[in-house]
Amino acid sequence: MNAKTDTEHAAIETTLELACRASGGMRVLLLWDRAEDRISVVVDDARTGESFELPVHDRSQALDVFRHPFAHAGSSLGLAVSCGRRGRRGADGLSGDGVEQDPRS
């Protein structure tokens, strides 16, 4: 093995998967790096090939970050994250993003 492979192998051995969930091509992992004593959440979109990692600074929030990674990604970047779908109306006459829709649309 070369030095890079040894390093990658050591990183894999020190990382423990605490939880995993998948839906619609999205996979979310809650990971603990034993060597660094660091918790993070990784989101991987198999459809686009994009992924991101969120460090979990407050351990008491680890499951919340795992369950709602996009909300935490937006807040950590200072962005507002919408969880709704535009153009779809619910029974209350509002779209998924809470914006009232014209009933003719």
Residue 94 lies in a domain: no
Counted domains in the chain: 1
- Give the other-Cβ count within 10 Å of 72's Cβ: 18
Burial grade of 69 (CB within 10 A; 0-12, 13-18, 19 or more): buried
* 98 in any annotated domain: no
Q: What tens digit of pLDDT does each residue of 84-96 get?
A: 444 444 444 444 4
Between 80 and 54, the more confident residue is 54
Q: Is residue 86 part of a domain?
A: no
88 part of a folded domain: no
Q: In which domain, by residue range, is 69 found?
A: 10-76
In this structure, the strands spanning 51-56 and 15-23 are: unpaired
Q: State the Cα torsion 43-48-50-51 to the nearest 10°.
A: 10
- Domain assignment of residue 57, yes or no: yes
Structural domain contains residue 90 = no
**Is 62 domain-assigned?**
yes
Sign of the dihedral through C-alpha 34, 35, 41, 44:
negative
The overall average pLDDT reported for the chain is: 75
